Amino acid sequence: MVELKTEAELAVVREAGRMVARVHDAVRARAAVGVTLRELDDLARKILADAGAEPVFLGYQPRFATTPFPGVICTSVNDAALHGIPDGYRLRDGDVLSVDCGAEIDGWVADAATTFIVGTPDPDDGRLIESTRRALDAAINTAVVDARLGDVSYAIGEVARADGYGINTDYGGHGVGRQMHEEPSVPNDGRPGRGMRLRPGLVIAIEPWFMSGGDSSYYVDDDGWTLRTGDGSRAAHMEHTVAITPDGPRVLTLP
Ligand code: MG
Ligand code: MG
């Protein structure tokens, strides 16, 4: 079931989104060569606790997972695209780090991810990240009243194809609100003009993740969570929680 949110409900999701943005800013500022992923998770944990926000990733166990997620952020490094566990890995110069975070306030959830380079950037990694960001922006711009869900998906797939990056639609965007994952599903590729019509009050997380090798295959680590590119190439992941409103798309996870 797709639930449309009221303005008052959107305001609370926005508040949760602000907390998610605060985590992203702080983690990015702290992430440096030699810092462990666990230290970044501890930082995120403290920020959410201080803000009175619930960390929705912690203990999350969807159907595909064999164990509950142990962190409040996902930290995915280099060939890890999604769902990386914040462990004792120490960041190295040139690492591509994707950080995903969800927070809940008063029963309402927001979800966002970003990718950046630690230390010295490699130009190829920079292009991958920039392309993924461009796909997110393009998809957000299509998320207007009376557009179709397929338009949003297509906007993402089009950028990946033009730039030669690999996409896989197994994991992608989703409705968000009372739960982190609600209807509808927002795949990272699709056909324009198809699918559900977007209505005011619909809130969706849009989250392209691109694989630099151009291949669409992936595998999941023995930890049951970390999703890696099949060809070992690097990946980037960008996500915002977005409300469809009569005034256009409203990004709820900005600072
Ligand atoms: Mg997310
Ligand atoms: Mg999400």
Question: How confident is the model over 19-77, as pLDDT tens digits?
Answer: 999 999 999 999 999 999 999 999 999 999 999 999 999 999 988 889 999 999 999 99
How close is the Cα of 164 to the center of ligand 2, in Å? 24
Q: Which ligand is nearest to the CA of 98?
A: 1
pTM for the whole thing? 0.98
Q: Is residue 184 part of a domain?
A: yes
In this prediction, residue 1 carries a pLDDT of 87
Q: Of the bound ligands, which one is closest to the alpha carbon of residue 181? A: 2
C-alpha 152 – ligand 2 centre gap (Å): 15
Q: What is the CATH number of the domain that holds 202?
A: 3.90.230.10
Going from the Cα of 175 to the center of ligand 1, the distance in angstroms, rounded, reads: 11
- Report the separation in Å between the CA atom of 186 and the middle of ligand 2, taken as the mean of its atom positions: 10
Task: Give the count of domains, the chain.
Answer: 1
| Domain span including residue 215 | 7-251
- For residue 11, is it within any domain? yes
Closest ligand to C-alpha of residue 179 is 2
Q: CA 134, 135, 137, 142 torsion: positive or negative?
A: positive
Report CA torsion sign: 253, 118, 225, 54. negative
What's the pLDDT tens digit per position in 188-206?
A: 999 999 999 999 999 999 9
Distance 227 CA to ligand 1 centre (A): 14
pLDDT-derived band at 115, boundaries 50, 70, 90? very high
Asked whether residue 82 is assigned to any structural domain, the reply reads yes
The verdict on residue 2 lying in a domain is: no
- Residue 1 belongs to a domain: no
Residue 40 inside a domain? The answer is yes
**Is residue 132 one of the residues assigned to a domain?**
yes
57 found inside a domain: yes
Residue 232 has pLDDT above 90, yes or no: yes
Q: Which phi and psi (to 5°) does residue 112 adopt? A: -155, 155
